[in-house]
Chains A and B, each alone.
Chain A
Amino acid sequence: MRRRAARTGWGVGVIDLDAFAAEVGAEGPVTITGVGSRGGAVPGVRTVQAPSGIQWVQPDEMIVCCGAGTPVDELVAVLAEHHQTAALPCGGTVGGALSLGQADLRRLGYGPVRDVLLQARYVSAAGEVVKAGGPTVKNVSGFDLCRLLVGSRGALGFLGEVILRTRPVAQCSQWFHREAGEPFEVFTQLHRPVSVLWDGTGVWALLEGHPDDVSAQAREASLAAVDGPPPLPGGSRRSIAPASIATIPGRFVAEVGVGTVHHAEPWVPPRRSQRVLDLALALKHEFDPLGRLNPGIDV
């Protein structure tokens, strides 16, 4: 039994997901891809794509509703017309960004990707349309299934339509640099910077807000305006305690106050404990007992 397309109207999903649900079906392995910018489909498996398109933007509620297949860049461009933005990394699709759950360099100020998803309508392993969360910025009605879906890499369900929290575009947004700097010194001098980066010698900071505040902050921390952040080494994206960035060897750019490190060398993330792995597998089994969704993707 599949749920009928949701009612149209306030804050409710609007995309008819029946066709997408039928495509995902209830049997056989299936994988989902956006534009393939984040790894794409599992090879050799029947591939589906989520619906795309922006359904509505409500700047006075700071929310937007779109198909999960919508390119992030398109979303950001349309939101910009309303002086809003979404804390999603650019490139790829909205569904891909949510499924991976990795924030961009603005995480310090904008928060993690998991805080962006308010409501999701996804297709489950049984081929049903399921709703998680709700359309308002504040909501504790039931368990937080949205946070479980963000970062689950399509292993629990395929996102069809999402309602995201947006934020106003800052009046002024400027990257700054200081040639030689101790990362934590600059970090503690600034009030709620959007990003602070350190490559072992220099410090970069992204400051946003009222232009006078931005320039005053930059002056106090002896920062000079630059075009943008430094290039990020692509060997690995590491996630470590932010207190330990001061001692990383090698070539890197570290996100101060966050703990994400863009490193030139590859990296193997620490293994989670067996009990945590078992718990993740138990959840996978509850949501997808036959292991048909994105087979081979680890939870």
Chain B
Amino acid sequence: MNEALAADLRAALAPDRVRTNATELGLYGRDASNIEGSTAVVCFPLTTSEVQAAVRAAHRHGVAFVARGAGTGLAGGAIPLDHALVIATTKMNRVLSVDPVNRMAWVEPGVLNLDLTRQVAHLGLHFAPDPSSQQSCSIGGNVANNSGGPHCLSDGVTASHVLGLEVVLSDGSVVQFGGEAPEEDGLDLRGAFVGSEGMFGIATKVLVRLTQNAPTVKTMLMDFSSVEAGAQTVSAIIAAGMVPAALEMMDQLCVQAVEAYIHAGLPLDAAAVLLVEVAGLPAGVAADTERIVEIGRLHGAGAVRIAKDEAERALLWKGRKTAFGAIARIKPNYYLHDTVVPRRMLPEVLRQVYEIAERHQLLVMNVFHAGDGNLHPLLVFDKREPGVMERVHAAGEEIVRASVAAGGVLSGEHGIGLEKRDFMPMMFAPADLAAQAAMRRGFDPSGLANPFKVLPSAAACGDVQHVPDGAWV
């Protein structure tokens, strides 16, 4: 707790939107990762100028500040370290304006991803990035993590859907990056801000691009007797020059867990299933569907189930989107990984993932964005088992190493945060990290915006790094 800071904030915001009781400080010291931080004060601004006032107060007191959306981040990005001020955007949750013709909307950062799509549904539009957490994550968090989702295969991740931003910088000034005009003069600061994990400032308004709903959608499920055959089908579809709207894969253990949960008639004996969605105009969708089924059959697909109607389509997607809930019934705890490998390396890396899990005596399930090579190995365990956390972390690190060694990257959508900060040298040389540190200094010379994340200590130029007790990074 920091009484002086809290008093300043109470004067600038309404007193009831500045919280200092121990329970709330504890709550806001966590996100959806396993890491726990320490909060000085939590505040809930309503407007840009309140965010500005909060940032200025943090600045005056020399206290770090952390922007927080819904706290669903999995890499510890929203964890306050060293008694930082948490600036929660939950109450900035209005859609400010919608241009249905040019398909864009200004929204506040606390608007929830799915709420935005719901609010523009009557216009035949949606916000394309659809993380599995879309019911609860915020647009501000999506921007900061450059989040993705199943339908980002054809439409691109958040960065392709952010046209402009209003940002409060760490010195309290308010700036606009990008906007309705497509080509701003000078550096693309909007582009650089997306994915900056709260370390370049706080987004207070976001101009998002909205996407036309497809007139025709076909969703199909194909089952395979081996994970390899499923993965090869994925590569073959892309190699044939098609980019489906979504191309998701689930392995047997995951299918079994999901089926027990939702009873969708999923094939329990298949080693892997592919969920493929094709969207667009009718002739193209029909032709692509036919070719995809043919490619699947060539690779040994057994049954091919094409959703007959919207209800069946929703059911198939429910299977994919509730996978995490289903898994909770097997073991109480899970650790979700996120790496990307070249598609053609999927069979080999998946083989290694199973081998790594087995060696560490862990159960692993795979449910992932196969179309863009984005693996999500899910380690399930019971943390009451002695020594299990060590095994979970050792296995996790090996999975990340195997992915990078296969020509992949550290993270496809969850970000680096604290979780993978110290893995950055697996992918980047010191000069590469120095360039990223230079970006950070350019945006935030004070270093007060969400410090200690993303950049490993050497790149952060002599900052003392505090990783909280019990954190496992």
Name A residues whose Cβ lies closer than 8 Å to a Cβ of B. Answer: 3, 9-12, 58-62, 83-84, 101-103, 107, 111-112, 114-115, 124, 128-132, 134-145, 147-148, 150-152, 156-157, 167-169, 184, 187-188, 191-192, 209-213, 216-217, 237, 239-243, 257-260, 269, 272-273, 275-277, 279-280, 282-283, 285-287, 298-299
Contacts and interface: CB of A to CB of B under 8 A. Distances in A.
Contacts of A169: 241
A273 B343 contact: no
Given A114-B188, A132-B432, A135-B407, A279 B175 contact: yes
B159 A115 contact: yes
A214 B176 CA distance: 39
A242 B180 contact: yes
B190 to A, nearest CB: 8
A70 B429 CA distance: 26
Contact of A115 (B160, B179, B408, B433): B160
Contacts of B412: 136, 138-140
Interface residues of B, number: 91
Contacts of A187: 101
Contacts of B409: 134-136, 139, 141
A196 to B, nearest CB: 11
Contacts of A242: 102, 180, 182
By Cβ-Cβ distance, the 7 closest A-B pairs, closest first, are A147-B191, A10-B407, A241-B180, A11-B407, A213-B281, A212-B283, A283-B442
Contacts of B406: 10
Contacts of B445: 282
B249 interface: no
B214 to A, nearest CB: 7
Contacts of B451: none
A240 B411 contact: no
Contacts of B175: 273, 275-276, 279
B284 interface: yes
Nearest to B440: A143
Given A152-B187, A191-B280, A132 B435 contact: yes
Interface stretch (B33-41, B62-70, B145-153): B145-153
A184 B287 CA distance: 30
B192 A128 contact: no
9 contacts: A103-B183, A141-B427, A142-B454, A143-B196, A184-B101, A240-B180, A280-B186, A280-B189, A299-B186
A211 B102 CA distance: 26
B136 to A, nearest CB: 19
A120 to B, nearest CB: 10
A138 B196 contact: no
A61 B238 contact: yes
Contacts of A269: 185
Contacts of A145: 192, 435-436, 439
Given A210-B281, A282-B445, A101 B183 contact: yes
Q: Is the interface of A mostly helix, strand, loop or mixed?
A: loop
Interface in B420-444: 420, 424, 427-429, 431-436, 438-443
Contacts of A136: 340-342, 372-373, 407-409, 412
Contacts of A61: 238, 342-344, 373
Given A138-B413, A188-B101, A239-B184, A144 B243 contact: no
Contact of B192 (A58, A144, A272): A144
Given A11-B342, A136-B341, A216 B436 contact: no
B94 interface: no
A138 B101 CA distance: 29
A116 B283 CA distance: 28
Contact of A168 (B241, B287, B431): B241
A114 B191 contact: yes
A282 B173 CA distance: 15
A132 B409 CA distance: 12
A128 B281 CA distance: 49
A239 B182 contact: yes
B179 A241 contact: yes
B436 A140 contact: no
B328 interface: no
Given A150-B188, A167-B243, A275-B169, A3 B441 contact: no
B180 A151 contact: no
A191 B212 contact: yes
